Chain A
Amino acid sequence: MDQAALLKEKIQNGFIVEGLEDMNEEYLNALKQTLTIVGDTELLSIPPLLTVYDQAPTLNSKITALAIMQDEIGHAHIAYRLLKDLGQDVDELLYKREPHRWKNPYAFDFELSNWIELGVFNAFFDRAGYTLLGDAFEHTSYGPWKRALVKVDKEELFHLRNGEIIMRTAMQDPQLREEVQKAVDWMFLMALEFFGVEDRLKSRSAQLEYRLKGRTNDELRQKWLSTAVPFCESIGVKVPAHYDEEQQKYVLDVPFPCKFDPVNKKWLFDQPDTWDNVIKRFKQRGPQNKQFVERIQKGAKELEQLRKDAV
C-alpha cells in the first residue's frame, strides 16, 4: 500500500496526525494550504473592522470590538505558529507576500460603511468562521490544530453573538432598521461564498480525504443557513433564502453564484454567474486588498528600515 492510501485508511479509522513524520507530501501541502487560508482570514478580518470602530455608539461597544480584534489576532497567531512548526517561513508569509497572494475571503477586501455593517460582519462572517472551524474542531485529523481550536471555537461564538446583539438592537430603530437590511443585502451572499465551490463541481478534495475537515462545502453552507436564516427571520430582516420542506434543505431565492458590483456593494441578480468567474473575481481581489495588506505589513517594514538605517 502506498503512503497516501495507508495514511487515508488510518485517518478514516481515527488516526490522529501529530507531526511531520506522520505525513506524506500531499497531507503536508493540504494542511499548509488550509492553515494559510485560516491565518490570513483571521488576520485580514481586522482592517475592515477598524474602518468603523471609531463609530462605536458606546464605550462598551468599542471595548467589545477591540476585544474581538484581539481575539482574531490570537487566532491568526495560532494558525501561523502551527505553520511555523511545519517548516513555513512565517515572516516571509506575513511581511513579504504581495497583497494579491493573500488567501482571505473576497468579503474582507471592503471597507465597512457604518457600525451596523460591523454587526452584520460579526453575525454573518464570524458565523461562517465558526461553522468552518467548528467543523475542523470536530473532525480534523491534525492533533495540534484540533487542540488549538478549543480557544477559537469559544471566541468565535462570542463574536457572532455580539453581531446578533447589534443587529437585534438596531432593528428596534426605524432608521437603523434600513441600514441593517442594506448591509444584509450585500453581506448575506458574501458569507455564502466563504464555503467555496459547489460540491458537484469538485472532482476530489484532499481536505476531505485526509479529514482536515469533515463536511463538504455544500453541507457547511447548509449549516450556516440553518442558523443565520432563522435568526434573521426572528428579528424581521429579509433574506434571499428559505427552508424548503420538500427538499428538506435551505434554498436560495436568487441566483447563486451571481455577478457583484464592488463599487456599489450590490449583487446583480439579473446576471447569474459561474463558479469559474467567481474564482476569477476572488483572484482579482476587492478594492481595499492592497491597502489592507499594506497596513498589516507597514510596522514590520518601517522597523526593518530603522534597523538598516541604524547599522
Chain B
Amino acid sequence: MAAKQRKTFDIFARIKRGGELIHIGTVEAENEKLAKVYASFTYDEEDWSEMIVVDRSQFVWVKKPHGLFAQKGERVR
C-alpha cells in the first residue's frame, strides 16, 4: 500500500521577519513536493513569512533530552 512509502516531514516556520523559527507540526508525504503542498494547506493559521519542510530522517541530532525512563547508559537515539 502507498502509505508504506510515506515519510514524515517536520515543519518549521517564522511568522514575520526577525521572529523565531518555530516547529509548528508535521506532515506525512510521499515526496518533498507533496510535503510542501500538505504543509501549506494544513498549517494556514498564519501568513507565514517563512516555512520549511524537513525530512525527519535527515535530522542530524547534536543533543536530545535524556528520556526519564531510558535505560542507564543507553544512548538516546
Residues of chain A touching chain B, judged by Cβ–Cβ distance below 8 Å, are 3, 6-7, 10, 15, 17-24, 70, 74, 77-78, 81, 84-85, 91, 147-148, 150-151, 154-155, 304, 307
Q: A78-B25, A151-B24, A151-B43 are contacts. A10–B68 as well, Cβ < 8 Å?
A: yes
Which of A7, A18, A81, A151 meets B27, CB within 8 Å? A81
Closest to A143 in B: B65
Check A19 against B67 for contact (C-beta < 8 Å): yes
List of A residues within 8 angstroms of B69 by Cβ: 3, 21-24
Interface SS of A by simple majority: helix
Residues of chain B touching chain A, judged by Cβ–Cβ distance below 8 Å, are 1, 3, 8, 23-28, 41-45, 65, 67-70, 76
**C-alpha spacing A85/B56, complex, angstroms:** 12
Q: A81-B25, A147-B23 are contacts. A304–B1 as well, Cβ < 8 Å?
A: yes
Closest to A303 in B: B2
Q: A10-B68, A19-B67 are contacts. A154–B45 as well, Cβ < 8 Å?
A: yes
List of A residues within 8 angstroms of B24 by Cβ: 147, 150-151
List of A residues within 8 angstroms of B65 by Cβ: 18-19, 22
**C-alpha spacing A133/B4, complex, angstroms:** 31
Closest to B3 in A: A91
**C-alpha spacing A1/B65, complex, angstroms:** 22
